[in-house]
Structures are given as structure tokens and as C-alpha cells.
Amino acid sequence: METKAFQKVYTKITQITKATCSLNAEGVGYGELASVSGRLAQVVKIEGENITLQVFGGTEGVPTNAEVVFYGRPPTIKVGEELSGRFFNAFGEPIDGGPEVEGEEREIGGPSVNPVRRKQPSELIATGIAGIDLNNTLVTGQKIPFFADPDQPYNQVMAMVALRAKADKIILAGMGLTNDDYLYYKNVFDNAGALDRIISFVNTTEGPPVERLLVPDMALAAAEYFAVDKNQSVLVLLTDMTLYADALSIVSNRMDQIPSKDSMPGSLYSDLARIYEKAVQFPDGGSITIVAVTTLSGGDITHAIPDNTGYITEGQLFLRHDTDIGKVIVDPFRSLSRLKQLVIGKKTREDHPQVMNAAVRLNADAVNARTKLENGFDLTEYDERTLGFAKEYSRELLAIDVNIDVDSMLDTGWKLFAKYFNKPEVGIREEMIEKYWPKEEE
């Protein structure tokens, strides 16, 4: 972030808030970068001569006579093959001790893909986790978050998904990541021998919160480079988007905007959509898939952050600790992948949709049976069977430590149907039943 000789230096700041400062300057473009006492800042408001800057590093200790220099350009990133295997901070500066990346400079937060140029996502992303592959199949070009309580092992599951996903590049965008979690990712990727296909942009909890606002744009600009210029399939991990949204609210509250629900800015939906909609299947084979984390407070998904996210993403995944089997499972009821229709029964075996639906339905019957039990009512013989089914279904399919291919998941499903139910109870189309119902053996 070098200062050039001919740049004018301003030294009269008129107003300072926690995240912004204002000064009088001329010839400034909206959205352009500046530095305030060496801290990176961006123009967020221009009223005549009065310019308001959002200071990414926070304004602690900024004096009214701080040196302010305008760069005449919006935030950029240098892209090139050399990004691979590297770790950067929110400004795109190396934090791994390696050299600066030489490459073409590109604006971050660039334009959207023309919808008519998008291709319909159609490639299945196999993760081996049946709670995902069987019930909530992921597809390249999709965007999907984990809605997780802060104590759930979402970072572990994300790392697992990332490594099994067979993506050409994995880009980790860490926002408010604890140092421990950052090191966890680094280790897991390293141990898997995958470092050369990983790129990380990280703002840890040690960094100032407003700085996080740059992280997704940095990561996605890098993702676009690999997906568009190199036609690669890129998986972007955004963790944790709740902390990103919190940073948005800090800035908008400083700008006197009227907050809407849960003190979030009224533009939260558009702000989040701008990021998530970068997920795309390009016509020439490249793709950007986004798997994100939105941490919940007290499991409340009606809070503005998860709520707006749910309206943007193509489904969501919930983790749950299943006390019956003592393992973490992918919750079959609340989780949903909206793009699964594009691949199940098409890229996977024909019985996939029916097996998936029947299993979830029978599992719902088990939930009803459990409610009865809790209310002190007697169970019918059918209720008993659903409970038996649900337990085995959890252990053999939903648990996140299951790692099998989709055909085996389907075979397991049929095996469990036959063990606990008769054919009409399963309610699957007759042709499928005839073909896949396990033949009776003695």
C-alpha cells in the first residue's frame, strides 16, 4: 500500500467515530481507497467536499491531524497461480512469511455474472457424508451455509467436506476466526497434503472487526480468477458470516442509518446476497461453490442474520448431537439442499429421490412416536418399529463419521426399510420396490 509521490496528503480530520472518520477533500471517487495514519480506509459517503471514510483497522488512536492519502482506485487484489498455498490477511498481504504475490491487479467486489451466461449447476459434490450426499446433496455452483451453534464442530465438518470435495482450489475466508481454529485448518490441510490447492484470507479475532468486511471479497476475487481464467472448480469456505454481518452493523450504525430488525442494516439482504451470489457455474467449466458458516445465538434461526441468509442461500445444513447414538449427525429435518433435484436420480441411481424421501418420512413418524413416549402414552407396534429404524438410520447414515459412496447409502436405506417395514408402509413407487427391495434370504 505504497504512497506515490504526487499524491496529495490531507491532515485535517473533522470527525471521528469508532469505524469512520470524515475530512474535506477534492476529486475523490466513491468507493476509492485511502489510508489514514497508514490504516486502510474506503470512501463510503461524499457530501460536497466532505468525505466519510470507513477505516478498516478501526479508528482507535487516530488523531485529527492524521495523514490521509487517497489512492484513486477501489480495493484490489493481485491474482496469479502464485496465490496457491498462501495465507493472507484481510488486505491480501502475506502472513505466512512468504513474498508478496506478483500478478495482475484486479478490483475486488467486481460485477455480477450475467444470469443468461450462467450454466445450470449439474455436478454433484460427493462428501461421503450420507447426511449430506443422500439427503442434502451438494452441487457445484451452489451456496449453502451450516447453521450451527458456536459449540458445534462446524469447522471440522467444513474441513472434511473441503478435502473430500475434489475441488481444484479451496479458498478459506476466515472472519473472526480464533487463532486456534485458524491453526486447525492449516494443520488439517497440511496433513492431507493439500496445501498447494488451498488459499487463505484470514481475519482472526485478534484483528479489528471492520477489517473482516474485505475478507469475502478478497477470497471471491481470487476464486473468480481461478474459476474464470483457469476454468477450475473452486470451493470457498466462509467462516463465520455472522461475524461478518456484525461488522456490517458496526459500520452502518456509525453512519446514522436507521437499523432494521436485530440492529442490522436495512441492506443486510443485499449485502449478503452480493457475496453469496458469487457462487456460480461458469459456461466454460469453472465453478465457484460456497460453503459457509452462520453461527446462531441460542439456536434462533429467526434472527436477522440466519433469516436473511436462508432467503439467499440454496438450502442450509444443521448439525445436531443425537443422544440416542452419542454422535453428531446432519439433522435430516431442518437441513435442505435446494439444488439436490438437479443431480439426485440423474447423476445418482434412479431410486435416490424416493429412498431419501421415504426415509425422512419414516423418521418423522419416529419423532411422533418419541413425542408420545415423552407424554407418557403407549406406543403402537408400528411406533416401536419406527424408533428402531430411526436409531439405525442415524447410526448408519446420518452420523458425520460415515464415509461411503451414494450407492452404498441407498443400499443401506433399502436394507433398513426391509428390516423394519412392509412395502406399503414405505410408500415408494411400485417399480422401484420391485427392483430394489432386498430379496428375502433365509
Partner 1 sequence: MKEKELTKGKVTTIIANLVVVEAEGPVSQNEICYVDRAGVKLMAEVIKVYGKQAFIQVFEETRGVKVGSEVEFSGGMLEVTLGPGVLSRNYDGLQHDLDKMKGVFLQSGDYTAPLDYEKEWDFKPLASEGDKVSAGDWLGEVTENTMPHRIMVPFKFTGSYKVKSVVKEGKYKVNDTVAVLLDSKEREVPVTMMQKWPVKVPITNYTEKPRPFKLLETGIRTIDTLNPMVEGGTGFIPGPFGSGKTVLQHAISKEAEADIVVIAACGERANEVVEIFVEFPELEDPRTGRKLMERTTIIANTSNMPVAAREASVYTAMTIAEYYRAMGLKVLLLADSTSRWAQALREMSNRMEELPGPDAYPMDLPAIISNFYSRAGYVYLKNGETGSITFIGTVSPAGGNLKEPVTESTKKTARCFYALSQQRADSKRYPAIDPIDSYSKYIEYPELQDYLNNNISEDWVDKVMEIKNYLIRGKEAAEQINILGDDGVPVDYHITFWKSEVIDFVVLQQDAFDEIDKSCPMNRQKYMLDKVLDIYHTDFKFESFEEVNPYFKKIINEFKQMNFSGFESDEFKRHEKELEKIVKERKVEKEEAVEEKE
Q: CB under 8 A: which stretch of 26-34, 95-103, 145-153, 231-239 binds partner 1? A: 26-34
Q: How far is the CB of 354 from ligand ATP (least distance, A)?
A: 12
Residue 24 binds partner 1, judged by CB under 8 A: no
C-beta separation of 247 from 192 below 8 A: no
Closer to partner 1 by Cβ: residue 74 or 153? 74
Q: Minimal distance in Å, beta carbon 375 to ligand ATP?
A: 30
Chain-centroid distance of CA 41 in Å reads 26
| Contact criterion met (CB below 8 Å) for 379 and 369 | yes
C-alpha cell at 281: 457455474
Query: Degrees (nearest 5) of the Cα angle 7, 9, 15?
Result: 135
**Shortest spacing between CB 74 and partner 1, in angstroms:** 6
Interface with partner 1 in residues 150-209 (CB under 8 A): none
| In the complex, minimum distance from the CB of residue 170 to partner 1, in angstroms, rounded to a whole number | 21
Grouping H, G, I as helix, E, B as strand and the rest as coil, residue 311 is helix
Within 10 angstroms of residue 339's Cβ, the number of other Cβ atoms is: 23
Which residue number, 106 or 338, has a Cβ lying nearer to ligand ATP? 338
Burial environment of residue 149 by CB neighbours within 10 A (0 to 12, 13 to 18, 19 or more): middle
Tell me how far, at minimum, the Cβ of 316 lies from ligand ATP, in Å: 10
Instruction: Name which of ligand ATP, partner 1, none residue 408 binds, using a CB cut-off of 5 to 8 Å depending on partner kind.
Output: none
Residues near ligand ATP (CB under 6 A): 310-311, 336, 338
**Between 146 and 201, whose beta carbon lies closer to ligand ATP?**
146
Residue type present at position 14: T
Q: Which stretch binds partner 1 (CB under 8 A): 41-49, 200-208, 210-218, 290-298?
A: 41-49
Q: Do β-strands 76-79 and 87-88 pair in parallel, antiparallel, or remain unpaired? A: unpaired
- Of the two residues 186 and 338, which places its CB atom closer to ligand ATP in the complex? 338
Residue 17 contact among partner 1, ligand ATP, none, beta carbon within 5 to 8 Å by kind: none
> Could you tell me if 437 and 417 are in contact, meaning their C-beta atoms sit under 8 angstroms apart?
yes
Q: Report whether 92 contacts 56 (CB < 8 A).
A: no
Beta-strand pair 138-139/124-125: antiparallel
Residue with cell 420396490: 433
Number of residues engaging partner 1 in binding (CB under 8 A):
79
- Nearest residue (CB) to partner 1, 32 versus 396: 32
The grid coordinates listed for 264 are 442490522
Site string for partner 1, 60-79 (x = CB under 8 A): --------------x-----
Distance CA 141, CA 74 (A): 27
- Please, what is the minimum distance in Å from the beta carbon of residue 109 to partner 1? 8
Compare residues 12 and 346 and give the one whose CB is closer to ligand ATP: 346
SS3 405: coil
Q: Which of residues 283-322 bind partner 1 (CB under 8 A)?
A: 283, 302-304, 307, 310-312, 314-316
